Amino acid sequence: MITIEARNVWVTLMDENGPILKFFSRAMSALLLLLLGVLSSTAVLLTGVESVGVCYGGNGNNLPTKQAVVDLYKSKGIGKIRLYYPDEGALQALKGSNIEVILAVPNDQLQSVTNGGGATNWVNKYVKPYAGNVKLKYIAVGNEVHPGDAVAGSVLPALQNIQNAISAANLQGQIKVSTAIDTTLLGNSYPPKDGVFSNSARSYITPIVNFLAKNGAPLLANVYPYFAYVNNQQNIGLDYALFTKQGNNEVGYQNLFDALVDSLYAALEKVGASNVKVVVSESGWPSEGGVGATVQNAGTYYRNLIKHAKGGTPKRPNGPIETYLFAMFDENQKGGAETEKHFGLFRPDKSPKYQLSFN
């Protein structure tokens, strides 16, 4: 971070270690301040943009090669990627790319890492060979597991054992171990200050959150204003979901994304984890296949989210908000509702669906 200080005609340029340059000139000090101000603004802009990554799903039979995908990330200035399984082809392609990575223990592998040996084997196979030249940032142990799911009891021991294996590999300072939840674990989300985990979820999520707090790891959360809007159109306006609402609502919020994130923070506070950070591990808007799913709406959402992630939320104003857009490509083999096939920022031929700027 650069700090500019001017006293009389002295201009001092400082970094975090102290003064690095003093400049004395009545004629030039104003110009220098102007130039440094531009540089400072640019640095802030780049820091904000770097908070945004893109999820890479592979449920399609017409998608580019792993190397072509990573090359596309690099060419578009996308500095973060989320992988949904330990994709060794993608990890090989990511070597030397400087792209930060969320690597997953998928739900169908949770049981296999609930013991120390299984977790060590997993880390030895999918983490240690790549940790030197791939920027592994988080391991997401499970995705959107709910309290009633068959694998729910595996999440906490899997987290603990993967953490132990990461520590044994001397990677604990480099990689944080977490899990990704969705906002259905909230029993109440409005107003955001009253956000709370549901009665059914509390006994499941509380020990997980305690684990995160103990290890200084964030909670990964998949946050979708689209689904909240679709399921409650009588109370949620499209403008509120798309960041286009003018002014704040009666509880001080201009957009639904902030309201959902802050309701998670309120819920974390209520289980004694106010210091746990929320990383938005997915957020997106489909371009077709359902209510409100149009190219225009989706483009508006993604552009506004990229811009908005540079700042913070009313409850946590000191941003940026680390956010991963869902997803890189339309996935023609994705299951579920038709909208699930149409979240891509890019078409399978790598052409952009929207005009988005990541750099």
Catalytically active residues are 144, 282
Length of the chain: 359
List the one residue out of 53, 110, 122, 57 whose CA is nearest residue 84.
Answer: 57
Cα separation, 278 vs 263, whole angstroms:
11
- Please spell the DSSP secondary structure of 149-218, one letter per residue: STTHHHHHHHHHHHHHHHHHTT-TTT-EEEEEEEGGGEEE-SSGGG-EE-HHHHHHHHHHHHHHHHHTPP
Cα separation, 280 vs 180, whole angstroms:
9
Both tokens of residue 29?
A: 């000090």
| Residue 325: partners with Cβ closer than 8 Å, 6 or more residues away | 52, 53, 54, 55, 283, 284, 302, 305, 306, 345
Cα separation, 3 vs 40, whole angstroms:
8
Cα separation, 305 vs 134, whole angstroms:
27
- Please spell the DSSP secondary structure of 102-115, one letter per residue: EEEE-GGGTGGGSS
**β-bridge mates for residue 55, sequence order:** 82
Give me the sheet containing 10-15, strands edge to edge.
3-7, 10-15, 18-24
Cα separation, 263 vs 260, whole angstroms:
5
